[in-house]
Structure formats: structure tokens, C-alpha cells
Amino acid sequence: MSGSNKPALGKMSVRVVLWSFLVFVLAAAGQTSLIVWLPRWLPEANRWYLAVVILIYWLLLAIAFAALIGRQINNRLEQPMRELGEAAGHVAQGDFSVYVAPRHVEGTRQWNSTDQMFADFNTMVAELGSIETMKNDFVSNVSHEIKNPLAIITTHAKALERDAISDDRRKAYAHTIVDASMRLNTLVTNTLKLNKLESQSIVAEAADYDVASQLTDAALALYDLFAIKGIALELDVEDHATVHADPGIVSLIWSNVLGNALKYTEPGGHVKLRQTSTSSGITVEIIDDGCGMSETEAAHIFDKFYQGATAHAAEGNGLGMVMVKRAVDLSHGTITVRSSQGSGTTVTITLPAAAGF
């Protein structure tokens, strides 16, 4: 139960105690009145009626009190529990459209623990529904991403079974199968990486380390690929810049963003990796003059399996930037993407500087 509801529960308990005390006082006052006034109205010989009247009085009070308590228990406990039980049964059967309406308006004096319980249940069902939708979308997208490479592999493998096929054609088919297999392998690898990142909430291996050196290593690892494609890679980083993060998680950021810059920049283009520092954070900008993105594509860049309508969409699987965003979040950093179609893209990542830097 949420902490915000505790004061309301305290007030309710106080009201119950006060009402119980008031009922007891009124009942005792009624008995006293009977003891005082009935002897004046009854003859001496019939004084024994006084005990009978008092007994009947308390019996009627007990019946009325029991009926009132029974009604309250039914209204406040049994009926809400029945409603909640029926709703839970629907949820157990996979219906996440269930909504149990609270009895009162939140924030008013009438709002009580039952209303809060219903509100928390509705929030839980909404979250479960959202998770179920995301799971279904994820399975659908993964199935779609796997289906295409498998279809390519199957088609070209059958083509290789033909007897009358030239060596050049056979090599081309084999090369296509290898490419599709590598794409499948990348999809599975990235899916596992993303699943690991999404299941993490605490970074256990965070440490102070030199991110400038890590950026240099990441650029050098891809330098040959940039050179083969004819793209100029410019590196502008400080001699030393310390962050407090998990080096393995942060390395995913640089490899994926630099990989995208390589993929979406045409031969003869330029990519610049620039790093600067302040007392509170380390900022890294990766700037390319490639094909860029439209506003619609940029708005979905962190959506799973979204690749936009580019000529290079078939080269990826739409999980790279999702992993980047999750890695930045786990590192307590921020990421922004600025892009316009035909004018390139700038990705800016800021990570918190290590204490004492």
C-alpha cells in the first residue's frame, strides 16, 4: 500500500474509535435513563419489569449494532473482495482490459484504503497489459527478422543443390548464405545483449576509468573499415577523462554509434568523434555527414527493430540504438540525437564524471 494513503488510514481509525466510543456512551446513557425513569412509571409490585426492559433494550441494541457491523463488513470488505476476485480471475485468463472503479474520488475525504487498493490494482493491470503488448510485439518483430534471413538461406541452399550451376553462381549463392547467417547471428547476439541490459538495474562492475583511452581504442578498432569505405574519421579527444561506469557497458555505446556512422555515411564522407569535459560530466559527440534521418525516423530511433526507410535498413536489425539508450541509462548519462535528411546526424552522449575528477 502506498505511503501517501497512511494519513487517510489514520484518520479512518480515529473516526472508528470515536464513533464506537460515542455509541457506547449513548447506550450507557439510555440504560441510565431507563433505570431512573422507569421506576417512577411502574408500581412497586412490578419493579421486576425493569430488569426485563433493560435486557430487551440491550438485546435490541446488540441486534442493531450487529446489523450495522454486518452491513459495513459487506460494503467495505466482502463486496470489494468479490469485485477484486472477479477482476483478478479475468486477468488470470489474459484479459488486461479489466478496470475496477474506486468508490470515491481520489484526494477527497471519502477516499479510503479500498479505493486505494482498487487504484493500485488498476495500475498493476495496466502495467501487465503494457508488458504483454511489448512481449507480443517483440516476439512478432523477432520472428519477422528471423524469417527473412532463413528464407534467403533456404532459397539459395536449394539453388546450390542444382547440378547445372556455374562456379561463379555457386560462390555467389554461398556468399549470400554466409551474409544471411551472419545477420541471424548478429540478431541473436544483440537480442541477448539487450536482454542482459534490460534485466540489469544496478551496475555491479562500475569503476573509475579513462574514457578518453576507451574512445581511442573504439575508433582504432573500426579505423580499417572506415578506410576501406573511404570515409575520413577524425578523432578529437582529451589526453585523459575519467568516468565512473562499467567499461563493458559503455563500450557498447561507442561501437554501436560509430558503427551507425560508418553504415550511413557514403564513401568520401566524414565522421568526427569529439570529447570534452566539465567538472560534472564527460560529453562525447559523434558527428557524420551521411544520409541523416527525417523527423519521423529520429522520433523512433530508440524503438526496438525500427530501422527507418533507408537504403541500409537491411544491414541492421534495429536493436543497436535501443542498446545504446539502455547502456546510457544504466550509466546515469543522457543521449540526444540531432539529424536532418541529407545533412547527417549528431549523437551527443554525456556521462557523469568520476568524483574528484
Question: What is the per-residue pLDDT across 51-79, written as a single tens digit (0 to 9) for each?
Answer: 777 778 788 888 888 888 788 777 777 88
Residue 282: the pLDDT is: 93
Q: What is the DSSP-derived secondary structure letter of residue 301?
A: T
- Contact partners, residue 283, CB within 8 Å, separation at least 6: 275, 276, 277, 348, 349, 350
Pairing between β-strand 232-236 and β-strand 207-210 as defined by DSSP bridges: unpaired
Residue 357: the pLDDT is: 53
> What's the mean per-residue pLDDT of the chain?
80
Percent of the chain that is helix, strand, coil (3-state, to 5): 60, 10, 25
286 phi and psi, to 5 degrees? -120, 110
Residue 275: the pLDDT is: 94
Q: With beta carbons less than 8 A apart as the criterion, state whether 85 and 47 touch.
A: no
Q: Which of 213, 282, 290 is nearest to 258 (CA)?
A: 290
* Separation of alpha carbons 253 and 349, rounded Å: 9
Q: What is the pLDDT of residues 109-153, one digit of tens each?
A: 778 778 888 888 888 888 887 767 666 666 666 666 677 778 888
DSSP-assigned beta bridge partners for residue 319: none
Q: For residue 335, how far is the Cα from the chain centroid?
A: 18
Q: Which residues of the chain are under the pLDDT cut of 50?
A: 1-9, 45, 311-313
Q: What is the pLDDT of residues 280-303, one digit of tens each?
A: 889 999 999 988 888 888 888 887
Q: With beta carbons less than 8 A apart as the criterion, state whether 120 and 100 touch.
A: no
- Contact partners, residue 107, CB within 8 Å, separation at least 6: none
Q: CA geometry: angle at 251 spanning 248 and 255, to 5°? A: 140
